[in-house]
Structure 1
């Protein structure tokens, strides 16, 4: 016998659809939300709707922004280094630690045939175009350490075979299969400083 109302079940399912949230955590979050007062819930919902309508990918680097162009692209014009990341959240540890002062480019994922993600699903053509048009001198791959990341880096390397751009990747101090947004600042610093040529 199911004792949870259908609307509560639907809310739990929404939380469970988020990455890294299991059914147990989803249920706890749903019950917590319902224990808050109506004003708190309304503010939460309003903030979610506002973010979903005002935040969009930067046309240059695909990082999330609520401006025409993200502040990093706006303030670092003329920079000749691009750090390639998988998703917008991966930029945060670099900016928080202050170890990198160049540009970024968000690929939108990594090549993963098992998940149905091919090169056509990523922003690869725009990355190559930026490198050629802006005279980028160094491309830093910060895609983590997984077979999918390796395949993606290899694909980009082949696309840039005739381009005179230095290509480096973060050192292997980052644990296999980990997401950059969860890496502590010391590990990120060591990995960044120990990056090597491909």
Structure 2
């Protein structure tokens, strides 16, 4: 028999479903929410609803935006370098550090057969088309350092065979299996500057 009300258990379960949140943290968050003034929680719920309704993938690069097209795609038209990342949040360390001034492309995931994610789940054909249409001269593959990222980079490299686009990957200063969004700016800068040809 649970000593917690059903609605509280449901709230804990929602928090526990978020990435990186375990049962203890989920319980702590749920109890914290219940101690906040009702106005704070209503504002939080409103912001959550607002984000869900307004934020969507950019039709060109798949980064999250609340505009018709993301600001980077709009402001950097004509750029000849493109950085390919796994998820929208991976763009942040590049933009915060200012090390890259080109375009981005978000794959949405990396190839992972064990998780049922194949090439068809990624935006690979759109990536190739953009490279052709926009005359991209350098493609930086910034997909992290997991085996899945490696196989995804290899697949992209094969798909671009015959195109005169320089293909590079970040240097190996990034710890194995780490997410780019959590890499510090100095490590990212060194990995970017030391990128290697595929």
Q: Does 1:68 align with 2:68?
A: yes
Alignment match, 1:110:
110
Cα distance in structure 1, aligned partners of 2:84 and 2:37 = 42
Alignment match, 2:178:
178
Q: For 2:105, what is the secondary structure of its paired residue?
A: strand
Alignment of 1:43-192 (within 5 A): 43-192=43-192
TM-score, scaled to structure 1: 0.99
Q: Does 1:32 align with 2:25?
A: no
Report the Cα offset of residue 162 of structure 1: 1.1
Q: For 1:131, what is the secondary structure of its paired residue?
A: helix
Alignment match, 2:19:
19
Cα distance in structure 1, aligned partners of 2:124 and 2:28 = 39
Following superposition, which runs of at least 4 residues in structure 1 exceed 2 angstroms of deviation? none
Deviations 1:43-76 (A, max 9, x none): 0000000000000000110000000110001000
Report the Cα offset of residue 2 of structure 1: 1.1
Deviations 1:22-45 (A, max 9, x none): 111111111111110110000000
Aligned residues: 198
Cα distance in structure 2, aligned partners of 1:52 and 1:93 = 24
Cα distance in structure 2, aligned partners of 1:99 and 1:134 = 21
Cα distance in structure 2, aligned partners of 1:20 and 1:162 = 41
Structure 2: gaps of 5 or more residues: none
Cα distance in structure 2, aligned partners of 1:156 and 1:9 = 44
CA-based RMSD of the aligned residues comes to 0.5
Q: For 1:15, what is the secondary structure of its paired residue?
A: helix
Q: For 1:14, what is the secondary structure of its paired residue?
A: helix
Cα distance in structure 1, aligned partners of 2:9 and 2:103 = 43
